[in-house]
Amino acid sequence: MTPRKLVVTGCSAGIGLAICQQLLEAGHQVVGVAREPDRGGIDHPAFLPVAMDLADLDPLPSQLTQLAKEHPDTSAVIANAGRGQFGGLEEFSYAQIDRLLDLNLRSQVYLTRALLPTLRAQPNSDLIFIGSESALAGGRYGAVYSASKAALRGFAQALRGECSRAGVRVSLINPGMVRTTFFETLDFEPGADASHAITAETVAETVQMVLNAAPTTVFDEINLSPLKKVIQKK
């Protein structure tokens, strides 16, 4: 591929970090967005860290507008930032519901609104959302999380037709259980066997597959699942 400039959110750990590393190895320039973008330890001249808290919505429009101005040659955005929180609905405070929906959904809409004009200005460009298998079927104790991811899925589906005439490909990747730091703050995790979870590197490889496709081809939606779905309590 011709080297491109790409924006990756949630770049400091897990899936986002793996995506950044693989894109840099492939010769691309990566604008990495996170609260602490250097926390992942990426040391590469083509990595451009941007500190931004996507969960803090009030300053986000102006911050994202500035991001678009500083990187007008961006030809792909990988919207990866998100978090998980699980439990019975009545265990959530209203503030917790707001925070989860703000990061997993509203910040993605803001990000797209700010950078879509930049993507439209390129001959060919990509907008890739990292969703979740929870968007496909709501799981027990995952009502709010599933709702946020299902809404993101609907958002991506609606954008496809809206953006295709401008040469912007919109894709959604729905990973199942991924063995990352995502589970550090949760009371469950994938089983110990390698077949019980996919890796962040696998998701990153899928992102590259989407980017490397012919400009006239779009991967609408890709679901990635471990061979065996095994969940264990910590």
Looking at the predicted structure, is the pLDDT value of residue 182 above 90?
no
Q: CA-to-CA distance for 82 and 76, rounded, in angstroms?
A: 18
Q: Is residue 190 part of a domain?
A: no
Mean pLDDT across 115-124: 97
Mean pLDDT across 17-30: 98
Instruction: Tell me the pLDDT band of 142, cut-offs 50, 70 and 90.
Output: confident
Say what the pLDDT of residue 187 is.
82
Q: Is residue 189 part of a domain?
A: no
Looking at the predicted structure, is the pLDDT value of residue 47 above 80?
yes
Instruction: Tell me the pLDDT band of 138, cut-offs 50, 70 and 90.
Output: confident
Q: Is residue 232 part of a domain?
A: no
DSSP per residue over 203-230, as a string? HHHHHHHHHHS-TT----EEEE--SS--
**Domain range for residue 149?**
5-177+196-227
Q: Is residue 187 part of a domain?
A: no
Residues 6 or more apart whose CB falls under 8 angstroms from that of 190 comprise 177, 179, 183, 196, 197, 226, 230, 231, 232
**How many domains is the chain partitioned into structurally?**
1
Q: CA-to-CA distance for 133 and 52, rounded, in angstroms?
A: 27
Tokens of 94: 């209203």
Looking at the predicted structure, is the pLDDT value of residue 169 above 80?
yes
Q: What CATH code is carried by the domain that includes residue 90? A: 3.40.50.720
Q: Is residue 219 part of a domain?
A: yes
What is the model's pTM?
0.94
Q: Is residue 54 part of a domain?
A: yes
Say what the pLDDT of residue 183 is.
83
Q: Which residue has the higher pLDDT, 146 or 138?
A: 146
Say what the pLDDT of residue 206 is.
98
Q: Is residue 27 part of a domain?
A: yes
Mean pLDDT across 117-143: 93
Instruction: Tell me the pLDDT band of 222, cut-offs 50, 70 and 90.
Output: very high
Q: Is residue 233 part of a domain?
A: no
